[in-house]
Structure 1
């Protein structure tokens, strides 16, 4: 059976912990206007992996803004888009980034943080490393990093539900695509940028995607790779400042990795994934009618008390095998290994150079739109 609620989806999602406002005895909830919400861990995984619950919908703001792209496509088209990104996200390439690219970016950030007490970590610092990494991978001049940051951040809301769409977001998209093309033309022939790699991959594998679709995929790689990481780096720093961990404990690789996994469980940067049922679908014994919008709560899945004992407690000793911070199914994040490598290098540097990271003021508030992260807190970095 399904639980029917009078909740308006737009009002419901104003609360970052919206899944707690729905009847806890059910995993599938019928909302207004043909919208369904899915909250339990197993049900969310089943929905995200179901072949008839898709990401593609012609009225999605991201599809209108970017055209055919890796986030909104399904089936063979989606596999083609992911194949374009594969060369930049292979294990060998990530190991290369980890050794040759990330340390300098991270150390430059930590240089700025030492001795600082900041109430604006997300806005001022969190984007530095991810933007540096993705600019380098895409072959974009690092001097344009601030410009890309100012243009990109508003576009994150195009990927949200509810979407925030305006004439400005479309202007930003057009300018970013033009900048990406300009940079590709300037660097044409050096062979090392992501754009040239994915163009070679397209030709070698006979993938039938247009130049504009390639550019849109590169832009979405930029947005997803930078804004999700910026949000999660904020969550990492927040948890470092809130939890009873000495820096010497985080210097232990096993503890560090467990710390990253537990922070990802509690603060997944994408809290809600929007999908669409193209046929009648059974999830957890409930039939979701075709043409329904489906809100899958990744945050709810990661705090399901049937899977995670005391789910609101930060516990690095728990198993994370059922955590899905990078979603699940065909649309699971292709950059998850790159992101976790980035987070590990960052923690290593902070733990090695700071005697303490402390949250000194905290409203315990969470921004759940445009990639989730704690807000309205002050953090202090004490030099060793």
Structure 2
């Protein structure tokens, strides 16, 4: 489908939660101000994310400056090397072990903390507890430091957002988190299976040419991405459960529960917009994109494309979700999708087992962020059985 020139400031545009809807509906690629291109529509977003000349690496990215070489900002062989370090931690066998031994206690503690209460800001006060507990354990971090890690990590989410908010404080927090991770490693809290130990063993066994500093940065970004995306989506899950779209009892069925999680992921992907860069002159959706242009790929737009999903804004458990890409596609697709979905399913199961009702009691229908997106400005009440 041919693209059109669109006069729009990308920063102001992305301040709107559903910004892709403000662009012309007869095009999938939109030229914005400042040499930025926005990509909407399911097919073209997937094409952009899998395109070999649309890359993550850019020397001026705030995340690259803050973390150095890392899994999020690398491409090609270097990116594959970083992902190889994470593969053992995120394998099906390891996730199954977490499901049996680690996740149930964390989920139960979260549900304990909200029963018979009304939360004005579920995301800030509760949503992080399960993912931070999981990733702290995987990293071999003392559970007593969980709140410290949460405090230090939250501002770093703005480094990965668009527009980026980079401050002296974010760089200070990166340095402090790397120091804490190294301190915990030196203290020997791991059991030989922690993230740092596993990725160091994988690096040495496979002869992967990554420095200790690059390994630490990958561990920290794993922490950031794994916790903040999950915290955002757990907030979206609770919001969907509290909207009264259907009875909680229906979610006792594991198949229905899986459909619920998948449909919530389609409607509320925790990463709404992905920033990439054209490494060469290329054509996408009939539009010429010059080298070095920024490319904003809208996961939210792809997942609500009416050409793929009938009545795309409707929460429909019976629909086919073929084409839904909440964890992106291509070389940079989220490697922790299985871990995340296992965590989400266990939380929903425990909530429906122990809650007679979950109700959104105030809803200003706002959304926060592009990179760690979730409904905001709502209150939710949990009534115990």
- TM-score, with normalisation over the residues of structure 1? 0.99
Secondary structure (helix, strand or coil) at the match of 2:136 reads: helix
Spell out the pairing of 1:299-310 with structure 2 (5 A cutoff).
299-310=300-311
For structure 2, list consecutive stretches of 5 or more residues without a partner in the other structure: none
Task: Supply the distance in 2 between the matched residues of 1:302 and 1:316 (Cα, whole angstroms).
Answer: 15
1:101 matched to 2:102? The reply is yes
Which residue of the partner structure matches residue 48 of structure 1?
A: 49
Spell out the pairing of 1:162-173 with structure 2 (5 A cutoff).
162-173=163-174
The aligned length equals 384
Which residue of the partner structure matches residue 27 of structure 1?
A: 28
Task: Supply the distance in 1 between the matched residues of 2:355 and 2:3 (Cα, whole angstroms).
Answer: 51
Which residue of the partner structure matches residue 155 of structure 2?
A: 154
Deviation at 1:370, TM superposition (A): 4.8
1:291 matched to 2:272? The reply is no
Task: Supply the distance in 2 between the matched residues of 1:175 and 1:227 (Cα, whole angstroms).
Answer: 18
Which residue of the partner structure matches residue 279 of structure 2?
A: 278
CA RMSD between the two structures: 0.9
Task: Supply the distance in 2 between the matched residues of 1:35 and 1:190 (Cα, whole angstroms).
Answer: 47
Task: Supply the distance in 2 between the matched residues of 1:187 and 1:316 (Cα, whole angstroms).
Answer: 46
Deviation at 1:226, TM superposition (A): 0.3
For structure 1, list consecutive stretches of 5 or more residues without a partner in the other structure: none
Spell out the pairing of 1:105-120 with structure 2 (5 A cutoff).
105-120=106-121
Task: Supply the distance in 2 between the matched residues of 1:279 and 1:370 (Cα, whole angstroms).
Answer: 25
Task: Supply the distance in 2 between the matched residues of 1:244 and 1:189 (Cα, whole angstroms).
Answer: 44
**Cα distance change on mapping 1:292 and 1:349 into 2, 3 Å:** same
Spell out the pairing of 1:170-181 with structure 2 (5 A cutoff).
170-181=171-182
Which residue of the partner structure matches residue 338 of structure 1?
A: 339
Instruction: Note if contact 1:152-1:223 (Cα within 8 Å) is conserved in structure 2.
Output: yes
Instruction: Note if contact 1:157-1:369 (Cα within 8 Å) is conserved in structure 2.
Output: no
Deviation at 1:188, TM superposition (A): 6.5
Any idea what the Cα deviations from partners look like across 1:210-268, whole Å, max 9, x if unmatched? 00000000000000000000000000000000132222101111110010011101111
Which residue of the partner structure matches residue 261 of structure 1?
A: 262
Task: Supply the distance in 2 between the matched residues of 1:322 and 1:190 (Cα, whole angstroms).
Answer: 40
Secondary structure (helix, strand or coil) at the match of 2:375 reads: strand
Task: Supply the distance in 2 between the matched residues of 1:41 and 1:159 (Cα, whole angstroms).
Answer: 23
Structure 1 residue ranges (4+ consecutive) displaced by more than 3 angstroms after TM superposition: none
Comparing 165-174 with 309-318, greater Cα deviation is found at 309-318
Which residue of the partner structure matches residue 37 of structure 2?
A: 36
Deviation at 1:190, TM superposition (A): 3.2
Which residue of the partner structure matches residue 4 of structure 1?
A: 5
- TM-score, with normalisation over the residues of structure 2? 0.98
Which residue of the partner structure matches residue 17 of structure 2?
A: 16
Secondary structure (helix, strand or coil) at the match of 1:311 reads: coil
Instruction: Note if contact 1:188-1:196 (Cα within 8 Å) is conserved in structure 2.
Output: no
Comparing 350-359 with 231-240, greater Cα deviation is found at 350-359
Deviation at 1:289, TM superposition (A): 1.4
1:217 matched to 2:218? The reply is yes
Deviation at 1:285, TM superposition (A): 2.1
